[in-house]
Amino acid sequence: MKIFTRYIIKEFSKLFLLTLSAMTLLYLVVEVFERVDDLVEHNAEYGTIIRYFLLKTPAIIFQIIPFVTLIATVLTLNTLSRNRELIAAKALGISSALIAIPILLSASVISVFIFIMNETVLPQSNARLEEMKRIWVEGKSPEIVFRHNKVWLKGRDGIYNIKLINPEKRILKGLTFYKLNRNSRLLARIEAREVVWKDGRWRAPRAKVTRFGADHLTTQFELDKSLPLKERPEDLKSLNPSTNTINIRRLNSYINRLEEDGYNAYHYKVDLYNKFTIPFASIFMALLGIPFGLKRLKSGIASGITLSLCLGFSYWILQALSTSLGYGEMLPPLLASALPNISFAALGVYLLTDT
């Protein structure tokens, strides 16, 4: 039994690494064709272009790992089936569940690796990648800076600090504007809990304005205060702080700060739970792929890859749908994040008991 287990793990590992290499290379080729013109247009040096695609590689691996695990699962079992090795195993009294255990163990190791990667390597590479994308792909000003999941934006008249951006609803929350003169001397600080886009301008229903004189300062509250922020709502879509650039601890800390300040952190809670559920999608992909692999597919490898891609895309469609429902507060954050894994686990267990 131990020999058979090691053999399955060995065959799965070979197909997994081969599929991972092929899909990563294919993804990079597509990315090169999509991005290289923008990089060259914004005068990026060759070293910058190479660094961009190297930084993109960890994100690609994170995104395709569940697909790769599913394909490797189906192909491994399909190969064993075509070679009559599964028939021999079952003749020796080895059940489908015991055949599945080595693959599930392998998928678990992969998931743990991806979870660690998502907490260590990915936040740093994603942060540098987004900065390069803003400058070299989108041609944005490098004066837009993200710190602790906030936006710092240097405008013509001063510096803006924004806690939350909702471009769809045309609302900024937790805004502080530092008005500077040409010598970078602080003239005033404007604080507004909420800023809305109205009549072609950003307006704060109620703002606290502190003006700094030569030897004194004055503070007063102003209603319907107009702010000189030049960016329109559609320009701010790309300025939303990305949760892909921070780990679980920092994201949880940010959520706590937002809730302490009275802001709705529902969106970020969904992203927080996704950091736990998405890395472990490989286990549920393998669980679903096992019953299909155990049933010999007539068309062999081509049929296995096609089936795997269909199942993989179904997972990500369900993931995108449930996440959107979570963002819209139509599902609790934990359920919105875990629903795809629960659904695929239930379907995989049902199909496995039927093999």
Domain assignment of residue 179, yes or no: yes
Yes or no: say if 315 and 252 are a contact pair by the CB < 8 Å rule: no
Confidence of residue 296 (pLDDT cuts 50, 70, 90): low
Task: State the DSSP code for 241.
Answer: P
**First-to-last C-alpha distance (Å) of the chain:** 20
CA distances to 104, 129, 288, 339 from 312, in Å = 17, 26, 10, 15
Task: State the DSSP code for 156.
Answer: S
For residue 344 the two structure tokens come to 């695929």
Domain assignment of residue 259, yes or no: no
Structure confidence by residue, pLDDT tens digits, 116-166: 999 999 998 988 888 788 777 766 655 455 454 567 777 767 888 888 887
Yes or no: say if 39 and 50 are a contact pair by the CB < 8 Å rule: no
Structure confidence by residue, pLDDT tens digits, 314-339: 888 999 999 999 988 899 999 999 99
Please state, for a pLDDT cut of 90, what percent of the chain lies above it.
33
Residues 125 and 191 in one domain: no
Domain assignment of residue 250, yes or no: no
Contacts from 273-277 at CB under 8 Å and sequence distance 24+? 273/333, 273/334, 273/336, 273/337, 273/338, 274/323, 274/337, 275/118, 275/119, 275/243, 275/247, 275/248, 275/251, 276/115, 276/248, 276/337, 277/337, 277/338, 277/340, 277/341
Residues 234 and 279 in one domain: no
Residues 46 and 108 in one domain: yes
Residues 277 and 305 in one domain: yes
Domain assignment of residue 144, yes or no: no
Residues 9 and 131 in one domain: yes
Domain assignment of residue 244, yes or no: no
Q: What is the pLDDT of residue 149?
A: 54
Instruction: Please state, in angstroms and rounded to a whole number, the distance separating the CA atoms of residues 254 and 83.
Output: 54
- Range with the lowest mean pLDDT among 31-40, 140-149, 205-214? 140-149
Instruction: Please state, in angstroms and rounded to a whole number, the distance separating the CA atoms of residues 145 and 128.
Output: 12
Confidence of residue 234 (pLDDT cuts 50, 70, 90): confident
For residue 155 the two structure tokens come to 């405008």
Residues 132 and 156 in one domain: no
Residues 180 and 56 in one domain: no
Range of the domain at 348: 2-139+264-353
Residues 314 and 199 in one domain: no
Domain assignment of residue 228, yes or no: yes
Yes or no: say if 249 and 150 are a contact pair by the CB < 8 Å rule: no
Domain assignment of residue 210, yes or no: yes
Structure confidence by residue, pLDDT tens digits, 244-287: 888 999 889 888 888 887 778 888 899 999 999 999 999 999 98
Q: What is the pLDDT of residue 238?
A: 61
- Say which residues have a Cβ less than 8 Å from residue 196's Cβ, sequence separation at least 6: 170, 171, 172, 202, 203, 204, 205
Yes or no: say if 178 and 158 are a contact pair by the CB < 8 Å rule: yes
Q: Which of 223, 239, 255 is the last residue of a domain?
A: 239
Residues 175 and 41 in one domain: no
Residues 211 and 290 in one domain: no
Q: What angle do CA 167, 337, 125 make, to 5 degrees?
A: 65
Helix locations, the chain, DSSP H? 2-41, 46-82, 85-91, 96-132, 248-260, 266-277, 281-294, 301-327, 333-353
Q: Count up the domains in the chain and report the number.
A: 2
Residues 268 and 132 in one domain: yes
Residues 133 and 160 in one domain: no
Domain assignment of residue 247, yes or no: no
Q: Is 32 helix (H, G, I), strand (E, B) or coil?
A: helix
Yes or no: say if 77 and 300 are a contact pair by the CB < 8 Å rule: no
